[in-house]
A and B are shown apart, each in its own frame.
Chain A
Amino acid sequence: MTVIKQGFQDLVQDLGRDGYTHIGISPTGAADKVSMKIANLFLGNHINDAVLEITLFGGTYLFDMPTTICLSGSHFPAKIRGDEVPFNKPTTIQKGDILSIGGSISGARCYLAVQDGFNVADLLGSSSTHLMSKSGGFRGRNLQKEDQLAYNKSEKRYFPIDRKFPIDYNRSIIRATPGLQHSLFDKPTQELFFSKEYTVSHQSNRMGIRIHGPKIQKRTSEDMITEGLPLGAVQVTGNGDSIITFVDHQTTGGYPKIANVIAADMHKVGQLRPGDMFTFELMTMDKAETLYLAQEQILK
């Protein structure tokens, strides 16, 4: 597939590079793993096959070989030969077809999957792009004009087009469990955190989603000892802003964590875009795990 026009940030991603955080290597992987899996499932792919993650606005892509594609995630206008390309449905591609993807009309990201996935060099068992070190994925960076991203010539296949995935994409409510240092914040502060609205800052990226809201202060001025960062941890920085720890996060950090986004809502975080407003909803660990396991079942 040849890039004719570059998108805002087209990255090759899979489910991430596990097993190396103790070396300081964050797992990365798709920002919205639910949509990424769904795009693969509609093509009968393995859920970990490499896809293209398209953020805010897409580019124009020429297909050099016949294949079948599937788009999933937030809705972006997508056209081939003037025809609208449907989301969550396989679309047959002929050699020479040109796919053009515009700006998102809902959340931050959509995913383009091809039959059997895109081919890039494996790095420690994963195809995902590690932007901080400019490694993995396609040359460790976003796709640019004239880049050629390889995929396999694929066989005819029966596609499971009738599948339904009942997934909650409402990103105005993000559910969270208490964070490891929630007791460093007094009761009124915790209540404030879970009742007021937050706005997503422009200074957000795959490392962290920075959010503005009521000033949150911890009880003591004492610093905590640096420790491992869980995905989705809401870190409260010195100036009162908060950061949701995201897929390309530093593996360790020293800011106190007031809350942690539940695993079943992490895909919503991947769809947050600057200016979006949302509230956190407090949830118990038990309920969060039940929701996570149920979501895993749906995405098999």
Chain B
Amino acid sequence: MDQNTFKEPTISPASDRSIMVQFNAEISEYIHQQVHFYSTLLLENHDDKISNLSPAYNSILIRLKEGISLWRTIAKLKQLFSENHEIKVADKTRIKIPVCYEGEFAPDLARVASHTGLSIEQIIHKHTTGKYLIYFLGFSPGFPYVGGMDPNLETSRLESPRTIVPAGSVAIGGKQTGIYPIQSPGGWNIIGRTPLTLFNWNQAKTPALPMGAAIEFYPITKEEFHDNQESLF
């Protein structure tokens, strides 16, 4: 089948108050574009029925407002997805993120080195030459699920998660890399920290690292870290 032929997703109740829209079971930019297009469409045009929505790699979970009928909404969604939609792909927002991969900002760099067999320099090189895509936000406020990491950097998660991971920490968890916008618990290997402020409650609707953005990392020194403490807002 031609990859660009739109395949209707499956739509089924996830609970008696929520609906799961599931696209092809794959993590790809093509599926991501569909998820992004439809979640934006639903958020903009159907907020009278939807209380909350969670896009992910290949799915959209829709949570219903009080009193809204589950089955009638499923029927309407099926109709919406059967209509012929042209998936509009907006130009990607491009964001460059400075990261200090030194000292106390990178407590797990040595662990990643021993796990991958790479030198510290090679890890930083591979991490900063990657082109990354933010598939969606989830887990905690503003937390981006980032795809595109060099598979050679894959490192298993920590055996016991830290109770406090500082805001701005850049980390590797299995096949994924990510950034912690706010201080939270976390079990990923911390390899650096950005001085940028990445989450602001006053501008929660327009997060600094939005779904669909293309991001890159570049290395900075500790001195530059302290000179660069600015906000992306």
Which of A110-118, A151-159, A228-236 forms contacts with chain B?
A228-236
Known: A20-B204, A135-B201, A228-B61. A25 touches B141 (CB 8 A): yes
Q: What is the 8 Å Cβ interface bit string for chain B, positions 60-89, against chain A (1 contact, 0 not)?
A: 110101110111000000000000000000
Which single residue of chain B is at the shortest CB-CB distance from A250?
A: B139
**Inter-chain contacts of A263 with B (CB < 8 A):** 15-17
Residue of B nearest to A124 (CB): B204
B188 at the interface (CB under 8 A from A): no
Specify which chain A residues have a CB less than 8 angstroms from the CB of B58 in the assembled complex: 225, 227
Kindly list chain B residues whose C-beta atoms are within 8 Å of the C-beta of A188.
none
B60, A18: Cβ atoms closer than 8 Å: no
Nearest residue (CB) in B for A176 is: B15
Q: A21 is contacted by which of B14, B54, B66 (Cβ under 8 Å)?
A: B54
Name the interface residues of B21-62: CB closer than 8 Å to any CB of A.
22, 25, 27, 39, 43, 47, 51-61
Contact: A250 with B16, CB < 8 Å? Answer: no
Closest to B17 in A: A263
Q: Which of A27, A228, A292 contacts B56 (CB 8 A)?
A: A228
Given known A-B contacts A25-B204, A225-B56, A252 and B139 have beta carbons under 8 A apart: yes
B142 within 8 A of A: yes
B20 interfacial contact with A, CB 8 Å: yes
CA distance A288 to B16 in the complex (A): 6
- Tell me the complex Cα distance, A24–B144, Å: 9
Q: In this assembly, does A298 line the interface, its C-beta being within 8 Å of a C-beta of chain B?
A: no
Query: A132, B17: Cβ atoms under 8 Å?
Result: no
Contact B137 A132 (CB under 8 A): no
A226 within 8 A of B: yes
Verify if A19 is at the interface (C-beta below 8 Å from B).
yes
The answer to whether the Cβ of B18 comes within 8 Å of any Cβ in the partner chain is yes
The answer to whether A105 has its CB under 8 Å from any CB of chain B is: no
Which residue of the partner chain, among B63, B65, B184, B201, contacts A123 with CB atoms under 8 Å?
B201
Which chain A residues border B17 with CB–CB below 8 Å? 230-231, 263, 292
**A225 — which chain B residues lie within 8 A by C-beta?**
25, 27, 56-59
Residue pair A226, B138 in contact (C-beta under 8 Å) = yes
Which residue from chain A places its CB closest to the CB of B167 in the assembled complex? A133
B67 touches which of A20, A285, A296 (Cβ 8 Å): A296
Chain A nearest Cβ from B156, distance in angstroms? 13
Q: Are A226 and B56 in contact (CB under 8 A)?
A: yes
Interface centre among A22, A25, A262, A288 (most CB of B within 10 A): A22
Q: Is A80 positioned at the interface, with any CB of B under 8 Å from its CB?
A: no
Residues of B within 8 A of A18 (CB): 51-52, 65
Contact B52 A21 (CB under 8 A): yes
A21 CA to B18 CA, complexed, in Å: 13
Q: Which of A21, A23, A292 has the most B CB atoms < 10 Å from its CB?
A: A23
A104 within 8 A of B: no
A-B contact pairs, 12 of them (CB 8 A): A21-B54, A22-B39, A22-B211, A23-B204, A23-B207, A133-B141, A133-B201, A177-B15, A231-B15, A233-B15, A262-B15, A288-B15
Where the two chains meet, the residues of B that have a C-beta atom closer than 8 Å to any C-beta of A are 12-18, 20, 22, 25, 27, 39, 43, 47, 51-61, 63, 65-67, 69-71, 136-143, 145, 182, 184, 201, 204-205, 207, 211
Using CB atoms and an 8 Å cutoff, list the residues of chain A in contact with chain B: 18-25, 27, 123-124, 130, 132-133, 135, 177, 179-180, 225-233, 250-252, 260-263, 285, 288-289, 292-293, 296
Q: Which 5 A-B pairs have the closest CB atoms?
A: A228-B61, A228-B54, A252-B138, A288-B16, A260-B15
